[in-house]
Chains A and B, each alone.
Chain A
Amino acid sequence: MFYSQKTQYHDGQSLSFKTTLLSDPKFTGNYQDLSVNLPTGELVFVQTMGYPEYEYGQRISLIGKLKVRLLNDKSTILSMSFPKIEHVKNSENYWLAVINSVRQKIINQFQSVLPKDSSALLLGIVFGIKEDFSNNFLQDLKTVGVMHVIAASGMNVTMVSGFFFYIFALFLKRQWAIVLSLMGIIFYDFLAGFQASIIRASIMAGLAFSSQILGRQRDGIYVLFLTAFIMLFLWPQFLTDIGFQLSFASTLGIMIIPQLFKKWENAFSGDLLTTVSAQAATLPILLGSFGTYSVWSVVVNALVLWTVPVLMILGGFAAILAFVFSPLSKFLLYLCLPFLIYFQVVADFFANLKGSINIQNLPWQLTVAYYLLLVSVLVFVFQKSHD
């Protein structure tokens, strides 16, 4: 069923569909680029005139011809040039309109205080919003292997749910605090625009919380597999989605590998061990999908990851305070600036160093061999430590 769904679209096919914009348009010259979802969930890149401006949350109808492009890595992208677009209504519903204005207000606050690349980076770290990045900066982040930082991920959801739970638990019963935290996560998902990694993390947090309500002990790996199962059951196309593969493999890596090296853990090695674990678990996927891998990736991650939690906290409070007391929000954003600049300088420096491996085609046999080797090494270490 899943494959028949994928081949449903062909080059030159006329399409007419309605969709809700879940990301902000990008403007260049007289044009604007939209990325919209087809009813079956595939992403289409649409180029259209720069006016009228469309915005996040709007419901639009499109009539046009589909183009199917084959990329170097054999994945396909769908695009549409200058379709007939009609604006159906401003927002799908009242809640989406509220969320949109909240989102816009936060983006405006960040952009009007911080320089362009810094505000883009902070919006990426706190909300996973990527529309604001310049192509150069995004390329730098890809080159040095820190894209995961600006994808709203498990870390964001964990912090958001933790934050809400902490606040609500102060004056509510535990069960109610959990229910409200779950609603907080859903609200955050809307703010961040739906992405594979964030849905995964949200479902996982949801399951973890639910199992707490039911009084069961949460077991990370069990919950991870359950999440993956539920998501693939609902959206089988995620199986080939690189974001999904990456987040599954890296989460599994982070859960298992550091456990085996507990002996060597200290304050400094924490970030490094986490990074190496995630990298070890995802290396073939990274090589296969992006075709490049920077040998500096581990170094860059070790150098910048410590800034992420502090930026999330400062940025998160700045976002909330933007609605309450703008000057304080501005001050918190200024406090983010040194960390953001440090992050940018490190990423920029290593992006300009030579040292990336380019791979045109990665045979699947090599991927299988790599994972077998990784598992054997881990089993070996596990047995050693239990001797």
Chain B
Amino acid sequence: MTKYFYLIIVSLFFLGGFFFYQNAKFNDGKLHLVVCDVGQGDAIFIRTPNGSDILVDGGPDDSVLSCLSNHMPFWDRTIELMVLSHPHADHLTGLISVLNRYKVMHYVTENVENATSSFKRLQAALAVQHLTAKYTTSGERIDFTDKTDLLTVWPTKDWMETLKLQDSKNLDTEGSSLDVNGFCLIQLLSFGNFKALLTGDAGQIVEDKVAAGVGKVDVLKVPHHGSATGMSDYFLSEINPRLAIISVGANNKYGHPAKSALNLLSSHNIKYLRTDQDGEVEIVTDGKTTRLVN
């Protein structure tokens, strides 16, 4: 009995140690942007300077959970904002696991539905937490009151309305400009001078439309896992990122990232990291200087 008593004392001691360590590490008044290593899919975690947690997409399975527990203090089980860029399984499935384990305060997505089974499971998981989707279109800004904000740059209201009139069943055929990727949310994260463009699976046509408005950024989450149709020469010249991050699974069946996309990045002298080779990528910034943790 006394043995267990001592073990609990030791445990309390270490728990206290964890608390101070994690508090110093995660509540450091800086913005942390993490492109999680979730295989073939997207999951991007952001912790703002005052400790709000944002998750943009959840990846194809529950591996996003490890990413969250590695970048949030153990006592913090609340995600302030969850975003789904578009309803494809490689972006949304992990969100279901997150909803099962974390309290989610707000859920933002685009107004596109989908008949897949993972989408239905997501709806069910949202209903359990009494969350309703807030649909966003370009120009809308979410302000975190700590100089962090998340601006929706795509889709525009007009684009949504025109294309919504088309047969919605054809939306989910990949490759057509009408496919869900064409509707995909593009968001610009800013904190001080730091800017990161989160592109989901958006395609080249759409990218080119928003490039000029976005301007120069520090970090680009490369669209559509580095597919051949994600970026144009013009797009990269306009946004000219210092670092590009490709969220991609090793040996995926789509051949992502495409050679042409990698060549395009190299021709612009843009340094890039790939989650299949480099693992997760974490960027820490105080709004002036930015540091890559890898």
Contact between chains at A117 and B18 (CB < 8 Å)? no
Residues of A within 8 A of B57 (CB): none
Interface: A230 (CB within 8 A): no
Contact between chains at B117 and A337 (CB < 8 Å)? no
Q: Encode A315-339 as 1/0 by CB contact (under 8 A) with B.
A: 0000000000000000000111111
Within 100-148 of A, Cβ neighbours of B (below 8 Å) are at 108, 111-118, 134
Contact between chains at B101 and A111 (CB < 8 Å)? yes
Give the CA-CA distance A28 to B11 in the complex, in Å: 35
Contact between chains at B4 and A313 (CB < 8 Å)? yes
How close is A311's CB to chain B, nearest CB, in angstroms?
10
Contact between chains at B18 and A338 (CB < 8 Å)? yes
Closest B residue by C-beta to A107: B100
Contact between chains at B121 and A53 (CB < 8 Å)? yes
Contact residue range for chain A? 20 to 34
Interface: B61 (CB within 8 A): yes
Contact between chains at B66 and A29 (CB < 8 Å)? no
Residues of B within 8 A of A378 (CB): none
Contact between chains at B62 and A116 (CB < 8 Å)? yes
The B contact surface, by secondary structure, is helix
Residue from B12, B14, B65, B93 in contact with A28 in the complex, judged by beta carbons closer than 8 Å: B93
Q: List 20 A-B contacts (CB under 8 A).
A: A27-B96, A27-B97, A29-B60, A29-B90, A29-B93, A30-B116, A50-B116, A50-B117, A53-B121, A53-B124, A112-B77, A115-B66, A115-B69, A116-B62, A116-B66, A116-B69, A134-B63, A335-B11, A337-B11, A337-B15
How close is B10's CB to chain A, nearest CB, in angstroms?
8
Give the CA-CA distance A50 to B124 in the complex, in Å: 12
Residue from B18, B63, B66, B93 in contact with A27 in the complex, judged by beta carbons closer than 8 Å: B93
Give the CA-CA distance A226 to B65 in the complex, in Å: 45
Contact between chains at B4 and A51 (CB < 8 Å)? no
Residues of A within 8 A of B (CB): 27-31, 49-51, 53, 108, 111-118, 134, 310, 313, 334-339
How many A-B contacts if CB must be within 8 Å? 77
Contact between chains at A310 and B4 (CB < 8 Å)? yes
Q: Which 5 A-B pairs have the closest CB atoms?
A: A51-B117, A115-B69, A338-B14, A50-B117, A116-B65
Give the CA-CA distance A116 to B102 in the complex, in Å: 11
How close is A334's CB to chain B, nearest CB, in angstroms?
6
Contacts A30-B116, A134-B63, A310-B4; A339 near B11 (Cβ below 8 A):
yes
Residues of B within 8 A of A115 (CB): 65-66, 69, 74
Residues of B within 8 A of A310 (CB): 4, 7
Residues of B within 8 A of A29 (CB): 60-61, 89-90, 93, 118
Closest A residue by C-beta to B13: A338
Interface: B120 (CB within 8 A): yes
Give the CA-CA distance A27 to B95 in the complex, in Å: 12
Residues of A within 8 A of B63 (CB): 134
Give the CA-CA distance A29 to B40 in the complex, in Å: 11
Interface: B8 (CB within 8 A): yes
Residues of A within 8 A of B75 (CB): 334
